[in-house]
Amino acid sequence: MNSTPAKSAARPLTLKQRQRISRHKLARRYWRMYVLLALPILYLLIFKYYPMFGVQIAFRKFDPVGGIWNSEWVGWHYFEKFFTSSKFKRVVPNTIILSLYSLAAGFPVPIMLALALNTVRNERIKKLIQTITYVPHFISVVVLVGILYQVFNVRSGLVGVAYNAVFGKNMPDLFGKNYFRHIYVWSGVWQSMGWSSIIYMAALSSVDQELHEAAQIDGASRFQRVLHIDLPTILPTAVILLIMNSGNVMSVGFEKVYLMQNSLNNRVSEVISTYTYKIGMTAGTSDFSYSTAIGLFNSVINLIILTLVNTVSKKISSTSLW
Amino acid sequence: MATKVKTPLDDKIYYIVTGVILFLITVIVLLPLVNVVANSFSEPAAVIAGRVKFWPVNFSLRGYEAVFEYKSVMVGYRNSFVYMFLGTFINLIMTMLAAYPLAKPNLPYKNTVMMLFTFTMFFGGGMIPNYLLLRDLKMLNTVWSMVIPGAISTYNMIIMRTFIQNSIPNELAEAAEIDGCNEFFYLVRIVLPLSKAVIAVVALYYAVGHWNTYFNAFLYLNDPDKKPLQLVLREILILNSINEEQLLMSDENVAQQGMADLLKYSIIIVASLPVIIMYPFVQRYFVKGVMIGSVKG
């Protein structure tokens, strides 16, 4: 029963060795699979992994003539420069506030929408609401921000005119620094809530109907059944999505913020991604090394947060990304 | 039985409350869109005065005429179509090449390759290293900078892989192998025809992505003739830089301002047209995609 070390050494091949050999055999038999994989792997190495090595210019002073590999090493210089700059104190909080606000507003709304939709008894109405709420997902950011500018135009926009009619005065500028965050976040909710609810609808469709019937017989109201049957069903999905989103707490996408930025709201709207862009790509003053250092700082923090949240979640709820 | 009588009242309240909430949500989603459509079909004076609500005022097609006469919009439209079709084509080939081998059960080193893919979802080189790479490859300002850097989205690859794993039985592959069909033929003859649904889903994801993004073009292109539609839109809708000559309007200031506003509304519709046309068809497949994607692979 108990195989002593001597005994297993006496065997012709250990289990591990045998596995390795059969692995080699399998790999040789399926060589065509690796031929197919060659192009995608080459793509990954060139366009995903090579730039990861390029990140080292964050630790070098970029030399336009010599390129990445011939630039002089400067260590943590650019990171220190960022941490001690006045921009750091503004850009980092702006990023975190905007992304936490987006998460706080954008995370529960699709769940509530899905729970509510799931209790609609008329299938056609349900379909109709779904079809309508999905539409904004397909609008491009440029068009979305364009619509915002038009609809919230103080003089001629739908909301601007309505505000004037109701309150008898002009609507405040929603794109200035006071309202920037709200308009950014809630337009995001407007755009994504329908689409984000799909995944919860899918989870809800797996609820065992007998559970509902049993609860009904026991006298549970529809609302109680939502709380005690539907909600627990979608909880694992919600946790996974929350973990995935948490990895982005320190990042706010470039596209939309950049479009919504103006000189009036810059104090609250400058986030890491837009600042990285401005440092790195503004003609004349571009500083590749500094920009890369800020970007690298950002992605490393994201990675750390994601790992932390995932570990905690694994411990608490045994729900995990990997 | 007493509870039986009480429950429906609770439920009634519940249904009314959720009904009202859902109604409000639908209205909030719908109203801005209806307003944009109504404005786009109105006359300039009504648009600038803010008289248009949810139905065109003095129906006119002048906004659309202006859009189609606007040269840079049309050039952008053409470019976006090229980037979308070429890009999606490359996406599909590359994604399939990765997804099929990775769907093969117990293919040696599969997990290593999979990890190589997954890691890119959480970490990347960032803006400048990517830019420098494209510069060194002489891809800046070319079509290739629009279609190659994003050739495979790991998320879409996983959707495809999950689909192949779950809906094409492995016995089929074994049978084919015994019959002497190699993996290349199996991919073309069996996997491709059986994966039509997921290919449609992923193609639509990629296509809509190409159509709607502006970031890569913003970084990598500076030739005006190569700009995709979204960049042209940005100039018009966001930066408000409208080429007045192209509007061919009276020199009256108000009329011109009204025309500029009208042009924006119409352009929003025209720019979203390809997606709007695809929408009924797209919607069904997109939802399917989310479902497949949500099954953890």
What tens digit of pLDDT does each residue of B178-207 get?
888 888 989 999 999 999 888 988 998 899
Q: What is the pLDDT of residue A25?
A: 87
What percent of chain A is modeled with pLDDT above 70?
95
Using a CB-CB cut-off of 8 Å, the residues of chain B touching A186 are none
For residue A102, pLDDT beyond 80: yes
A308 close to A316: Cβ distance less than 8 angstroms: no
Q: Write out residues in chain B with pLDDT < 70, as ranges.
A: 1-7, 243-255, 293-297
Mind listing the domains of chain A with CATH numbers?
87-317 (1.10.3720.10)
For residue A283, pLDDT beyond 80: no
pLDDT band with cut points at 50, 70 and 90 for residue A47 = very high
* Domain definitions of chain B by residue range: 2-68+243-294, 71-225
| 3-class secondary structure, B1 | coil
Q: What interface predicted TM-score (ipTM) does this complex get?
A: 0.90
The DSSP letter of residue A317 is H
Confirm or reject contact between A136 and chain B (CB < 8 A): yes
Q: What is the pLDDT of residue A29?
A: 86
Mean pLDDT, residues A295-299: 93
Answer whether A138 sits within 8 Å of B275, measured CB to CB.
yes
Window 161-180 of A: residues touching B by CB (8 A cutoff) are: 161
pLDDT band with cut points at 50, 70 and 90 for residue A2 = very low
Question: At A97, which amino acid appears?
Answer: I
* Separation in Å, CA of A155 to nearest CA in chain B: 7
The residues, ordered by sequence, that sit 6+ positions from A121 with a Cβ below 8 Å of its Cβ are B15
B229 close to B215: Cβ distance less than 8 angstroms: no
Q: Extract the tokens encoding A122.
A: 């008329």
Q: How far apart are CA B245 and CA B239, in angstroms?
A: 17
Q: Extract the tokens encoding A180.
A: 């920037």
pLDDT band with cut points at 50, 70 and 90 for residue A8 = very low
Answer whether B25 sits within 8 Å of A193, measured CB to CB.
yes
Q: What is the pLDDT of residue B248?
A: 53
Q: What Å distances lie between residue A40 and A20, B96, B100, B144, CA to CA?
A: 25, 9, 11, 16
When mean pLDDT is compared over A41-50, A199-208, B3-12, the highest value belongs to: A41-50
Using a CB-CB cut-off of 8 Å, the residues of chain A touching B19 are 120
Question: At A269, which amino acid appears?
Answer: S
Mean pLDDT, residues A25-33: 88
Residue A73 phi/psi, 5° resolution?
-70, 135
Using a CB-CB cut-off of 8 Å, the residues of chain A touching B268 are 143, 146-147, 150
A294 close to A65: Cβ distance less than 8 angstroms: no
Q: What is the pLDDT of residue B32?
A: 96
Question: At B58, which amino acid appears?
Answer: N
The residue that leads in pLDDT, A133 or B278, is A133
Burial readout B171-202 (b: 16 or more C-beta within 10 A, e: otherwise): eebeebeeeeeebeebbeebbeebbeebbbbb
Mean pLDDT, residues A72-90: 94
Q: What is the CATH number of domain B71-225?
A: 1.10.3720.10
Q: What is the pLDDT of residue A246?
A: 79
